[in-house]
Structure 1
Amino acid sequence: MTTTSEPTGKDFEQMMGFLMGFFQTQIASAIASYSIADHLAKGPATADEIAAWEGIDPQPTFRLLRACASLGLVTYDGNRFTATPLLGTLRSDVPGSLRSLAIAWAAPGHWQPWGRFTSALKTGEPQTFSTLGASAWDYYKQQPAEGAAFTRAMQGFTSGLVNDVVQVLDTSNVKLAADIGGGSGILLHGLLAANPHLKGIVVDLPEVVGSAEIAARELGLSNRSTTLPSSFFEYVPPADLYLLKHVLHDWSDDESLSILSRCRESIRAGGKIAVVEILLGEVGGEPALGPLMDLNMMTLVTGRERTQDEYRRLIEKAGFHVVSVKPIRPPMVVIEATA
């Protein structure tokens, strides 16, 4: 006796959509790589025009755009294609742009490890060593062009969160904020721009922090924003506030505890940390982004997404006390904890 209902035609259709998901990733990457969203932001265009602008073949370009029309990315009037708001997420000039992410996720650094996803399930180990010959982080050092694309992807994603974080984070008692693993400093610079009394420091690896110095100069923040080349496993500077955005989810519990412990050792009296991460919710009742990103972490690195209780236990094990969990863009939250 079966306890489940039989699949319907609609179920088979939905599963076909799942199975073609990797087609759509490559479609989004092609749109991004050939700036199609940027071109159509200027107005409707034919496939021949787009192909000429980008130096690609007109016939495959039309076939790509036909698929885009069926996916709701463009509309077609029989001659020209027009962008929809969904396509606009792949423009290069919108806050939170997903253009670079589309390119990065279709590149070998993500694509090849995911080809061994079943091995990750069997072994519980990330698949970067078996496919790329290195950890994800070392691979990006070896492939600077792809590493730069991934960095731009993270910058684009962060730019869409800055205002949300700034609005919920109380900095009234903060004089110095440190952005740990802060990359080009987008989050810190947004915080400084909104809080003229603040000074800040971006802490990241030597090959990364130069981009934060350039960004600070361009934003006129050089007098309030500095950098420190350092591994967050080894040392973080004294500060009143530590920003940890999408840092802990990259690492195992033991590695995350090491990062948090460095912050606890250096934090100034009365200081706090702000952990910005995806929060896993109730199984089956949460947005898919969280569980899917958890699988991405499993496949690529030693990290994972966590529930609120898991973050609380981890943070408090390092000697902090969680005082608030503030939702921003679902399923993202800002977890504040004091020393």
Structure 2
Amino acid sequence: MTDRPAQAALPPPLVMMQLLFGKQLTYSLSGVARLGVADQMDGTAKPVEEIAGKVGAHAPSLYRVMRMLASLGVFKEGPPRSFALTPVGEVLKTDAPGSVRYMAMMFGEEFSTRAYEHIADCLRTGGDGVTEAYGKDIWAVLAERPEQCETFQRAMTNSTAGAADAIVEVYDFSSIERLADVGGGHGLLLASILRRNPKLQGVLYDRPEVVASVPKTTFAGCEGRIGIEAGSFFERVPDGCDAYMMKHIIHDWSDEHCRTILRLMRDKLPKNGRVLICEMVVGDEPGPTPAKMLDIEMLVMTVGGRERTAEEFGALFAASGLRLNRVVPTARPVCVIEAVPA
């Protein structure tokens, strides 16, 4: 037998080019998600012309994108010019378990792409790309764009769907009497918690334009135990709760903004109350992590938002009359960060 030589490492310029081609990957995924390509596919290969006809696409162009995505395991090509879904591609289907279709669409939305045009300005000034592009923050931009706002909310629901089961598996909500999900979007996480805890009362709290579009089926089976309130968490939070929860809210805001929100909660909490922050925690490991990647999204898209270390969460709580009690990891990158009155 002849030993085959070990594959040589790629030279640095080619490694860098692989990193730079992330743009083509992200926008291709966003494009096929927006067209609903995966919704027309299954595990059996279909000709690209058939898929293109169903989604209103130009078949030769769609083929080129699907060929590239097949090389990365999103689709499987064979026979030639025919594609089937892989388990990875399956999550681009609208109703698939763990779907990220709307997340992929959001990454290609105008408000996102225009913001990233200004990343060099973000690095120079510490400002955000959305304000550079539009002269207003992301929330003001979305409030003026109902369709893009709906895509954003559905993307957040995609994110929550993946994390909700992981959160309820590791955190015991049974001793809570009334839980407010502050900035809770369409309520998927709160609904999951209520179904697991039949004695628990819940309040979904978010901006008026958000709660107005909560699907009627979200809280099916929770009738009589759920209230929905509209408002700004910079002005007030719901009354009568012994626990407040926020998932991927604190990371949207500067420390100053976060202290305002947390102090409003602290003022309402009973002595045995708690605040639950469901977010990623930046660790000290040197390799790539989801938290480090998401931190760049916060840098570009929000005014002062960031992913934080456990120590930074502790300092934020201490400045708001709270104390970091524990960090509960889950099977997903998100953790449950528990704070109690100081």
Structure-1-length-normalised TM-score: 0.93
Aligned pairs for 1:212-291 (under 5 A) are: 212=214, 214-216=216-218, 219-237=220-238, 238-282=240-284, 284-285=286-287, 287-291=288-292
Is 1:45 matched with 2:38? no
**1:176: which partner in 2?**
178
The 4+ residue runs of structure 1 with deviation greater than 6 A are none
**2:3: which partner in 1?**
none
Greater mean deviation of Cα atoms: 35-44 or 253-262:
35-44
**1:127: which partner in 2?**
129
Deviation at 1:300, TM superposition (A): 1.2
CA RMSD of aligned residues (A): 1.7
Gaps of 5+ in 2: 1-7
Aligned pairs for 1:92-103 (under 5 A) are: 92-103=94-105
Greater mean deviation of Cα atoms: 39-48 or 273-282:
39-48
Cα-to-partner distance string for 1:313-339 (whole Å, 9 max, x where unaligned): 111221222222111145321111222
Q: Distance in 1 between matches of 2:14 and 2:100?
A: 27
Greater mean deviation of Cα atoms: 241-250 or 83-92:
83-92
Q: Distance in 1 between matches of 2:104 and 2:218?
A: 27
**1:142: which partner in 2?**
144
Q: Distance in 2 between matches of 1:23 and 1:171?
A: 43
Q: Distance in 1 between matches of 2:327 and 2:92?
A: 31
Q: Does the residue aligned with 2:204 lie in a helix, a strand or coil?
A: strand
Does the C-alpha gap of structure 1 residues 213 and 269 become closer, same or farther in structure 2, counting only changes over 3 Å?
A: farther
**1:71: which partner in 2?**
72
Gaps of 5+ in 1: 1-6
- Residue identity matched to 2:23: F
Does the C-alpha gap of structure 1 residues 41 and 132 become closer, same or farther in structure 2, counting only changes over 3 Å?
A: farther
Deviation at 1:148, TM superposition (A): 0.7
Q: Distance in 1 between matches of 2:207 and 2:139?
A: 11
Q: Please tell me whether the aligned partners of residues 278 and 334 of structure 2 are also in contact (alpha carbons under 8 angstroms).
A: yes
Deviation at 1:42, TM superposition (A): 6.0
Does the C-alpha gap of structure 1 residues 274 and 105 become closer, same or farther in structure 2, counting only changes over 3 Å?
A: same
Q: Please tell me whether the aligned partners of residues 213 and 222 of structure 1 are also in contact (alpha carbons under 8 angstroms).
A: no
Instruction: State the identity %.
Output: 32
Count residues with an aligned counterpart.
Answer: 331
